[in-house]
């Protein structure tokens, strides 16, 4: 009897093993870790739209499980490891704060491939991918300078990391290319996601006289406040036009779908390599929401700038540019290199804020 | 300018005050419910959903109150009837609330909300400054003020309030005196849940009229801390809530104004201020002990 049971168990295990083996050959698992809710209306939603596009394009060959609301910090490592252990072939970790956790898990699972969004630490099985958000912010700055009556915009920032500082600088440079005296007020909310606090920051900036608002946080709350107070604003990460039909000028829309499909295809073809990708408007990883609530000439200017950035004719960080204290940074015609941009820890001239250290 | 800041402070402080007042009553009855965050977010989603479906934010407010109250019944059943551990059950309630609200609210994500409009008192609202600040607010603000006065009266001036405090201080003695401990605690838990639900409704109908998952963003925990901060006194809850709100908003204005203080320090300021005040009031050990419900968090099983 005992032998029979063992034999049965063994054959069952064999069958089970065979069938999962066959399945694994059929379908690859491409997994996603989200920092927020996939319905946040901003950053995480943009990633989830990309995942759904991947599902649609390669659904017969890949599965796309995801984990949402994974906090940055010690818990992230556990969540990523859980994904790796569950048989994922490729894991996308979609927040800057997952960087060190992804590096650690990638070391433990050399056969699993990882891709970390917006980070700078890579390994043979860990690629990084990022979007040149600053290109969109430069265009926003130009629009702001045209549309602001006071020459003063407000910027709701999250954390003083290079990514955010770069965005603030690009916005100010765009604005200054139109109005050399343009000023920018910055408020640090010290959070990516807190509708209430983002709304409070928006109210504080408006009460201090800004008439254009832009944000580097994840919810539509600032857009709503701008709409209520009757000023104009820019959306972030997703098209936020629903929150402010008469308020949104444009939005930086993250369009990760094409990239996710490309990388999943590379995985299927066996050609996946660890790369450090930093794409922009021209690659379609970043698009501008329709230019709305502005006169035609401003719209034409924005479209022209967008075309120039796409063609490579215009680089937002082209000298002469001074640092905030007036000391020279880039000489006339000189372009900032990617390394400097990715480690940016200083403001350019015209930003009315003291950078937190 | 000062008026504008004050109006922002009121919006930011009101949900904290309301949720903390509810928890204060629950704790005065000797029950520690750590699920405020979960009940608040359930209130927020119920209020938003009801408003979207009926078009009336007042029905939304009612739905928020009922949603929070009904959700707290789960806590009541587990801890009062089944005598489960209150701390663990409260934490579970928060986790459940955050998850469940996300599920319930999925259909409402991204929909532009309907804002609860202010109720304007004629004549009174024309008084310079005070009229704008005090008599041109929405229902939740008036309710928060009424709750402070009402709860203070109930706890310290009414017979029922005295009985409830007796239960919170020594449930065995109260039981021996013939007071129905379990029933009173059920009511106190539900009142706390209803207040947390109302606070949640304020979030999704007044503060930021929209629904996003996790939109309470830790305000339930701040409300819990406020109760201890206030040493279980309603007026101190009001003062604490407004102090916290004022420092939070003040630091944003300080940043926008361009005062060169690091923003991380400013962001930590509300919490630091709370700790400093806590140290000051807990300095006098005797008054702290007098105010603390002695049976807080202890399970009660009637012996007969």
Using the 3D structure, point to which of A106, A131, A156 is the last residue of a domain. Answer: A131
Residues A122 and A147 in one domain: no
Residue A335 inside a domain? The answer is yes
Q: What is the pLDDT of residue A18?
A: 43
With b for 16 or more beta-carbon neighbours within 10 A and e for fewer, the B249-259 pattern comes to: bbbbbbbbeee
What is the residue range of A293's domain? 133-253+286-352
Distance to chain B for A3, nearest Cα, Å? 46
Residues A59 and A156 in one domain: no
Contact yes or no for A41 and B110 at CB 8 A: yes
Cα B219 to Cα B205: distance, rounded to the nearest angstrom: 16
Residues A187 and A336 in one domain: yes
Inform me whether the C-beta atom of residue B126 falls under 8 Å from chain A C-beta atoms: no
Residues A227 and A182 in one domain: yes
Q: Is the dihedral of CA A146, A150, A204, A322 positive or negative?
A: positive
A-chain residue closest to B111, CA distance: A242
Higher local confidence (pLDDT), B69 or B109: B69
Beta strands in A241-327 (DSSP E): 248-254, 276-279, 286-288, 321-322
Residue A91 inside a domain? The answer is yes
Residues A200 and A336 in one domain: yes
Q: What is the pLDDT of residue A178?
A: 96
Q: ipTM of the assembly? A: 0.90
* Burial (0-12, 13-18, 19+ Cβ within 10 Å), A151: middle
Distance to chain A for B1, nearest Cα, Å? 7
Q: What is the pLDDT of residue A17?
A: 43
Inform me whether the C-beta atom of residue B256 falls under 8 Å from chain A C-beta atoms: yes
**Minimal Cβ distance to B209: which of A40, A224, A357:** A224
Distance to chain B for A243, nearest Cα, Å? 6
Inform me whether the C-beta atom of residue A315 falls under 8 Å from chain B C-beta atoms: no
Inform me whether the C-beta atom of residue A196 falls under 8 Å from chain B C-beta atoms: yes
Beta strands in chain A (DSSP E): 28-33, 62-63, 66-67, 90-93, 113-117, 126-131, 152-157, 183-188, 212-215, 232-237, 248-254, 276-279, 286-288, 321-322, 328-330, 351-352
Contacts of B19 in chain A (CB under 8 A): none
Taking only the tens place, the pLDDT of each residue in B181-236 is 999 999 999 999 999 999 999 999 999 999 998 899 999 999 999 998 888 999 99
Residues A226 and A347 in one domain: yes
Contact yes or no for B112 and A39 at CB 8 A: no
Residue A78 inside a domain? The answer is yes
Alpha helix locations (H) across chain B? 2-28, 36-54, 57-76, 86-104, 130-134, 139-157, 159-169, 171-176, 181-202, 219-229, 234-257, 263-281, 285-291
Residues A188 and A314 in one domain: yes
Residues A175 and A295 in one domain: yes
Contacts of B111 in chain A (CB under 8 A): 242
Q: What is the pLDDT of residue B254?
A: 87
Residues of chain A predicted below pLDDT 50: 1-24
> In angstroms, what is the C-alpha Rg of chain B?
19
Contacts of B215 in chain A (CB under 8 A): 195-196, 219
* β-bridge pairing A66-67 and A28-33: parallel
Residue A303 inside a domain? The answer is yes
Q: What is the pLDDT of residue B268?
A: 83
Cα A172 to Cα A141: distance, rounded to the nearest angstrom: 6
Evaluate whether B23 touches B195 at the Cβ level (below 8 Å).
yes
> B198, B66, B44, B216: which is closest to B113 by C-alpha?
B44
Distance to chain B for A95, nearest Cα, Å? 18
- Of the residues B11, B252, B258, the best mutation for testing chain A's interface (the one with the most A CB atoms within 10 Å of its CB) is B252
**Minimal Cβ distance to B213: which of A37, A189, A204:** A37
Inform me whether the C-beta atom of residue B106 falls under 8 Å from chain A C-beta atoms: yes
Residues A38 and A27 in one domain: yes
In chain A, what is the straight-line distance between the N-terminal and C-terminal CA atoms, in Å? Answer: 72
Residues A97 and A64 in one domain: yes
Q: How many domains does chain A have?
A: 2
* Measured CA angle at B185 (ends B181, B191), to 5 deg: 150
Contacts of A185 in chain B (CB under 8 A): 256, 258
Ordered by start, the domain boundaries in chain B are 2-291
Taking only the tens place, the pLDDT of each residue in B195-205 is 999 999 999 99
Contact yes or no for B106 and A39 at CB 8 A: yes
Residue A49 inside a domain? The answer is yes
> B290, B33, B30: which is closest to B171 by C-alpha?
B30
Q: Which segment of A34-48, A254-268, B7-21, B278-292 scores lowest on mean pLDDT?
A: B278-292
Q: What is the pLDDT of residue A25?
A: 56
Cα B224 to Cα A110: distance, rounded to the nearest angstrom: 45
Q: Which segment of A190-194, B240-244, B255-259 scores lowest on mean pLDDT?
A: B255-259
Structure tokens at A320: 């002469």
**Minimal Cβ distance to A199: which of B208, B219, B258:** B208
Using the 3D structure, point to which of A114, A131, A148 is the last residue of a domain. Answer: A131
Q: Which CATH number fits domain B2-291: 1.10.3470, 3.30.43, 2.60.40, 1.20.120?
A: 1.10.3470
Contacts of A40 in chain B (CB under 8 A): 212-213
**Minimal Cβ distance to A204: which of B102, B212, B253:** B253
Structure tokens at B175: 């039981």
- Of the residues A35, A37, A75, the best mutation for testing chain B's interface (the one with the most B CB atoms within 10 Å of its CB) is A37
> A47, A301, A317: which is closest to A167 by C-alpha?
A317
Per-residue pLDDT for B173 more than 70? yes
- The model's pTM: 0.88
Residue A272 inside a domain? The answer is no
Higher local confidence (pLDDT), B279 or A35: A35
The percent of residues in chain B predicted with pLDDT above 70, rounded, is: 99
- Of the residues B255, B259, B272, the best mutation for testing chain A's interface (the one with the most A CB atoms within 10 Å of its CB) is B255
**Minimal Cβ distance to A243: which of B102, B112, B207:** B112
Residues A72 and A183 in one domain: no
Distance to chain A for B44, nearest Cα, Å? 13
A27 vs A30, A87, A91, CA distance in Å? 9, 11, 15
The residues, ordered by sequence, that sit 6+ positions from B221 with a Cβ below 8 Å of its Cβ are B36, B37
Q: What is the CATH number of the domain that holds A94?
A: 3.40.50.2300
Contact yes or no for A39 and B110 at CB 8 A: yes
Taking a contact as any Cβ pair under 8 Å apart, which residues of chain A between 109 and 128 contact chain B?
Answer: none
Contact yes or no for B258 and A354 at CB 8 A: yes
Evaluate whether B228 touches A243 at the Cβ level (below 8 Å).
no
Q: What is the pLDDT of residue A348?
A: 93
Residue B70: is the preceding peptide bond cis (ω within 30°)? no
- Of the residues B44, B52, B263, the best mutation for testing chain A's interface (the one with the most A CB atoms within 10 Å of its CB) is B263
Residue A300 inside a domain? The answer is yes
Residues A197 and A247 in one domain: yes
Contact yes or no for A37 and B214 at CB 8 A: yes
Residue carrying structure tokens 């809710």:
A37
């Amino acid at each position: 009897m005992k032998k029979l049971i063992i034999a049965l168990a063994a054959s069952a295990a064999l069958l089970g093993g065979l069938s999962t083996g066959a399945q694994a050959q059929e379908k690859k698992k491409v997994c996603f870790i989200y920092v927020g809710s996939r319905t946040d209306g901003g950053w995480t939603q943009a990633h989830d739209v990309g995942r759904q596009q991947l599902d649609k394009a390669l659904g017969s060959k890949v599965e796309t499980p995801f984990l949402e609301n994974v906090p940055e910090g010690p818990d992230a490592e556990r969540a990523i490891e859980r994904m790796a252990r569950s048989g994922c072939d490729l894991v996308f970790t979609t927040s800057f704060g997952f960087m060190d956790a992804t590096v650690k898990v990638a070391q433990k699972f050399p056969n699993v491939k990882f891709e970390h969004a917006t980070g700078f630490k890579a390994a043979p099985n860990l690629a990084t991918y990022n979007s040149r958000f600053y290109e969109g912010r430069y265009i926003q700055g130009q629009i702001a300078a045209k549309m602001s009556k006071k020459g003063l915009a407000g910027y709701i920032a999250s954390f003083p990391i290079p990514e955010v500082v770069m965005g603030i600088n690009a916005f100010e440079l765009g604005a200054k290319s139109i109005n050399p005296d343009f000023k920018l007020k910055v408020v640090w909310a010290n959070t990516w996601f807190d509708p209430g606090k983002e709304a409070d920051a928006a109210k504080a900036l408006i009460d201090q006289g800004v008439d254009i608002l832009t944000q580097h946080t994840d919810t539509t709350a600032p857009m709503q406040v701008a709409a209520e107070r009757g000023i104009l604003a820019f959306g972030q990460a997703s098209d936020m036009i629903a929150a402010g039909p008469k308020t949104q000028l444009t939005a930086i829309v993250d369009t990760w779908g094409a990239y996710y499909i490309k990388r999943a295809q590379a995985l299927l073809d066996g050609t996946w390599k660890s790369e450090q990708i930093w794409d922009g408007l021209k690659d379609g990883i970043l698009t501008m929401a329709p230019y709305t609530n502005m006169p035609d000439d401003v719209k034409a200017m924005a479209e022209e700038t967008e075309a120039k950035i796409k063609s490579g004719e215009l680089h937002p960080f082209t000298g002469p540019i001074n640092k905030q204290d007036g000391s020279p940074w880039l000489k006339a015609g000189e372009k900032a290199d990617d390394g400097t941009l990715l480690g940016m820890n200083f403001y350019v001239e015209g930003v009315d804020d003291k950078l937190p250290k | 300018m000062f008026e504008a800041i004050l109006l922002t402070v009121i919006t930011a402080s009101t949900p904290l005050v309301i949720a903390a007042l509810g928890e204060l009553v629950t704790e005065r009855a000797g029950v520690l419910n750590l699920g405020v965050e979960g009940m608040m977010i359930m209130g927020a989603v119920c209020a938003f959903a009801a408003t979207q479906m009926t078009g009336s934010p007042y029905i939304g407010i009612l739905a928020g109150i009922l949603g929070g109250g009904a959700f707290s019944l789960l806590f009541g059943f587990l801890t009062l009837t089944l005598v489960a551990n209150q701390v663990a059950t409260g934490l579970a309630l928060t986790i459940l609330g955050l998850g469940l609200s996300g599920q319930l609210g999925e259909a409402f994500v991204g929909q532009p909300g309907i804002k609860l409009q202010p109720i304007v008192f004629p004549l009174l609202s024309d008084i310079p400054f005070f009229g704008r600040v005090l008599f041109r607010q929405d229902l939740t603000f008036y309710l928060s003020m009424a709750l402070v006065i009402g709860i203070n009266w109930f706890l310290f001036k009414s017979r029922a309030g005295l009985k409830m405090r007796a239960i919170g201080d020594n449930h065995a003695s109260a039981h021996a005196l013939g007071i129905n401990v379990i029933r009173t605690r059920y009511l106190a838990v539900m009142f706390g849940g209803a207040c947390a639900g109302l606070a949640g409704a304020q979030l999704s109908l007044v503060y930021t009229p929209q629904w996003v998952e996790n939109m309470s963003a830790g305000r339930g925990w701040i409300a819990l801390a406020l109760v201890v901060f206030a040493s279980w006194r309603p007026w101190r809850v009001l003062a604490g809530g407004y102090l916290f709100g004022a420092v939070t908003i003040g630091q944003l204005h300080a940043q926008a104004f361009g005062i060169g203080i690091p923003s991380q320090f400013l962001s930590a300021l509300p919490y630091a201020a709370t700790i400093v005040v806590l140290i000051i009031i807990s300095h006098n050990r005797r008054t702290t002990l007098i105010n603390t419900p002695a049976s807080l968090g202890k399970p009660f099983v009637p012996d007969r």
